Amino acid sequence: MYNRKVAELRASADRLAASERESAWREMARQVAHEIKNPLTPMKLGLQHFERTWDPDAPDAGPRLQRFTAGMVQQIDALSTIASEFSSFAQMPRAQATDLDLREVVRAAVDVYHGHPQVRFTAELPEPLPVHADREHLLRVFNNLLLNALQAIPEEREGLVEVHGRVQEGRAVVSVTDNGTGISEADRERIFRPNFTTKGSGTGLGLAMV
């Protein structure tokens, strides 16, 4: 009797886990389709309009073609970003941990933004930060943190993003701060959940990878 109950409970737990996995993948597929359709719609409309109105002999043909191709490139870049974010999120569990100094990873992420016209990025990393982790995954983490910090700063504001590193109680601690708009109390508990975003566009996977 006891063994049968245990087997029934195990089977019930397995069915529940399978159902949750199926539901999660269904939601992920819906999210992928939605995010891909967002750039595709203006691309299709733009191409159709361009095809109807294009006149190679028009005086503004050159500038118009340049504007059109620039717009298409932006939409393609948006699709590429979506694909990269979903790919990175799917690959996160495949970690290959090694011993490394976290400062090298942080500096590699910060260096990308050096020379930004509106936002100043600084990194204060006075001491070694030894960790045992996957370097590529950590780089994605800091890339997403810095990008979110950058996007939180209004365009009219002179931005500042600061990264500080230290060893505290035997652990490597890195903090990223910015002078952007901040996160509301209601959103703070949800920002690391997959698919949650406060932006008008985006997959909501960037901070989920953190």
User: What pLDDT does residue 33 have?
Assistant: 73
Please state which of the four CATH numbers 3.60.15.10, 3.40.470.10, 3.30.565.10, 3.50.50.60 is assigned to the domain occupying 98-209: 3.30.565.10
Q: Which residues of 130-155 are buried (b: 16+ CB within 10 A; e: fewer)?
A: ebebbbebbebbbbbbbebbbebbee
The more confident residue out of 128 and 195 is: 128
> How far apart (Å, rounded) are the C-alpha atoms in residues 72 and 78?
10
Residue 155 pLDDT class (50, 70, 90 cuts): confident
* 118 membership: H or E segment, kind and range: none
Structure tokens at 52: 């109807």
Query: Which pair of tokens denotes residue 174?
Result: 């890195």
123-147 average pLDDT score:
87
Question: Residues 179-186: what's their mean pLDDT?
Answer: 71
**pLDDT given at position 206:** 45
Domain-wise residue ranges, the chain: 2-91, 98-209
| Angle (deg, nearest 10), helices 61-91 and 2-53 | 170
CB 165 within 8 A of CB 174: yes
28-64: pLDDT as tens digits: 777 777 767 767 776 787 888 888 888 989 998 899 8
- The CA distance from 153 to 162, in Å, is 13
pLDDT, position 154: 87
